[in-house]
Amino acid sequence: MASDTRARILDAAAELYRRQGMAATGLKQIAAAANAPFGSIYHHFPGGKEQISEEVIYAEGVRYGLLVGHQLAAVTDIVDGLSDIFASAAALLVELDYTEACSIETIALEVASTNERLRIATETVFSDWIDGLTQWFTGTGLPIDVCRSLALSCLTSLEGAFVLCRSLRSTEPMVAAGLAVQDRTRAALPTS
């Protein structure tokens, strides 16, 4: 039962962070969303909000990594697959009425200059994603440095598009970002 409460707290915090950011989310709100007594917050997370946030970052990093990893694994043509990944992100934004985005990105923006422990956690997650994308791009046969550059381009385009889409309440930035990454990848491939 205790681990169920702990998991509910983490899930509630992750959802609230995706919707409103970490700074705007209070511990009482997390406890209420988790349907948990407030005292259970410090029982399961003696480090308070910072500990919850760090664990959310790592858990969400794995969750998003698996979600995108499954999409990438299904791709048979890397160039075409890129537009599918961005289109899928756009569809999700519409489905959620632009209320949720990547919680890692949201937290990273909030803590990059203020909390080294959480900055390191977001750095770790982003680095893992970059490594995974780099590995995926190696399927093109391109040199590893080009694959890493494409991975960085893909991730920065995706994360930046999330911010603009939510602000503009439009999928246009996501579509444009997907096309740009697709074009950049196509241009990097050797012509036959």
Q: What are the boundaries of each domain within the chain?
A: 54-188
pLDDT of residue 67: 86
pLDDT of residue 128: 96
In whole angstroms, give the CA distance from residue 173 to residue 155. 14
Return the number of other C-beta atoms located less than 10 Å from residue 141's C-beta. Answer: 10
Closest CA to 96 of 188, 8, 19, 25: 19
pLDDT of residue 1: 47
The separation between CA 96 and the C-alpha centre of its own chain, rounded to angstroms, equals 15
Query: Digits of tens for pLDDT over the chain (192 positions)?
Result: 457 999 999 999 999 998 888 999 999 999 999 999 999 999 999 999 999 999 999 999 999 889 888 888 888 899 888 988 999 999 999 999 998 778 888 899 889 899 999 999 999 999 999 999 999 999 899 999 999 999 999 999 999 999 999 999 999 999 999 999 999 999 999 876
pLDDT, one tens digit per residue, over 77-125 is: 998 889 889 999 999 999 999 987 788 888 998 898 999 999 999 999 9
pLDDT of residue 192: 61
Return the number of other C-beta atoms located less than 10 Å from residue 71's C-beta. Answer: 14
In whole angstroms, give the CA distance from residue 57 to residue 10. 10
pLDDT of residue 124: 97
Q: How far is CA 20 from CA 23, 50, 71, 139, in A?
A: 8, 17, 26, 37
pLDDT of residue 2: 53
In whole angstroms, give the CA distance from residue 74 to residue 146. 22
pLDDT of residue 126: 96
The fold adopted by the segment(s) 54-188 is Tetracycline Repressor; domain 2 (1.10.357)
pLDDT of residue 27: 97
pLDDT of residue 99: 86
